[in-house]
Structure 1
């Protein structure tokens, strides 16, 4: 992938999305959602999935039920889904370059936070086997945080993270894998670096400041951040 715009900075804080960006959980969501869809003779394929990435749980449930015409309410969908996700999330593996980048930024005392549309319950389930590096984040802002009124693409999650970090939004860079997340970051007045799933149409990330194939490709020095050899 190539740059959408020339990188800018300097940056004082970094905010990370989690699903599909730090941890490889998207496949778990796909498996579970497709299992539920199959119970009703439907298939949760890429045509539907590509428009669901980055949505909050309620929004996700409403979208999937509508798109697949499932005979259930969003509440029923979420209730059935929870134990299936709880069982699988602890096995989620880090995305390429994620742990190294987080540890590097923490080592150099760069304020970092997680800003996720996931709930706090699922955050703990997903990170249960990765606590050593997730504990390096100064703050974690989930969709059910008391100061978040709306999930992505609203900017609430990222604005709350910036406030907790004590950094002006315009001095923050956000890493995201979803178009909704990029929209949230730009609406918050932040820089947005997109690391999309390889199946996602590139055109959906035209509003990002930069696109990468993985977090390992991020050129820290271009953004006024200490490089790996600093």
Structure 2
């Protein structure tokens, strides 16, 4: 794992809140999405048609938008609606097995302990969120009720539009003009673009299997390949406790 871009001492900020994407960022669900998609394609002799070029385009999109793109890109002989029916059946079986990704629990627990405002902003619809979070209560209870899903009535457009993050930010009690003090954690290109379009500081936790996008990386506040590499001091929060310390103070 690698820290691709970290803010200098002068570039560090005093953030007001953090907004977290979910799929592939908090939970390992992106691998499950891939598994389910390949299983469906294999039923129609198209198992080899799925690749990271398609995966990159799909990541972060709302399910309706993703279904249309998936059918177009793979040549699957189903309508987007028919594909979603098959996919949801597999997801119901697979998603309860999803788990937090490395570094997630440590960071979220730390921010919660520091009484730092946090929220989940996910393109997943509410029913899908319920399935994914069912066995991950230890993580999602840390966010209280600050969960915004992609089917929220206030969200007109999905990523890369900024709607999702702007709504989540507002629900935390912050005014729109303070967006520049918000931090968005994202793994998908469309999500990174959405955070930037919202005028927020984006931490791109990019999958090392993704092709590099250096121009987009330059626009991000930080770029890492694992949440475990993020330093809360970059955003003005106390650092993680070291051995023999409690909340950064020697015991």
TM range (shorter): over 0.9
Cα 1:5/1:100, change in 2 over 3 Å? closer
Scaled by the length of structure 1, the TM-score of the pair is 0.95
Q: What is the total number of aligned residue pairs between the two structures?
A: 230
Question: Aligned pair 1:8/2:18, yes or no?
Answer: no
RMSD: 1.4
Radius of gyration: which is bigger? 2
Question: Aligned pair 1:73/2:60, yes or no?
Answer: no
**What is the DSSP-based 3-state SS (H/G/I as helix, E as strand, rest coil) of the residue aligned with 1:51?**
helix
Scaled by the length of structure 2, the TM-score of the pair is 0.87
Conserved in 2, the CA contact under 8 Å of 1:143 and 1:150? Answer: no
Q: Deviations over 1:139-198 (max 9, x none)?
A: 111100121111111111100011011222111101000110010001111000001111
**Please, which runs of 5 or more residues in structure 2 have no aligned partner?**
242-246
Conserved in 2, the CA contact under 8 Å of 1:176 and 1:194? Answer: yes
Conserved in 2, the CA contact under 8 Å of 1:4 and 1:208? Answer: no
Question: How far apart, in 2, do the equivalents of 1:113 and 1:106 lie?
Answer: 11
Counterpart for residue 125 of structure 1: 131
Question: How far apart, in 2, do the equivalents of 1:51 and 1:5 lie?
Answer: 28
**Please, which runs of 5 or more residues in structure 1 have no aligned partner?**
none
Q: Deviations over 1:112-160 (max 9, x none)?
A: 0001111111111111111122011141111001211111111111000
Question: How far apart, in 2, do the equivalents of 1:49 and 1:41 lie?
Answer: 19
Question: Aligned pair 1:154/2:161, yes or no?
Answer: yes
Question: How far apart, in 2, do the equivalents of 1:197 and 1:51 lie?
Answer: 14
**What is the DSSP-based 3-state SS (H/G/I as helix, E as strand, rest coil) of the residue aligned with 1:11?**
coil
Question: How far apart, in 1, do the equivalents of 2:169 and 2:53 lie?
Answer: 34
Question: How far apart, in 2, do the equivalents of 1:228 and 1:215 lie?
Answer: 13
**What is the DSSP-based 3-state SS (H/G/I as helix, E as strand, rest coil) of the residue aligned with 1:150?**
coil
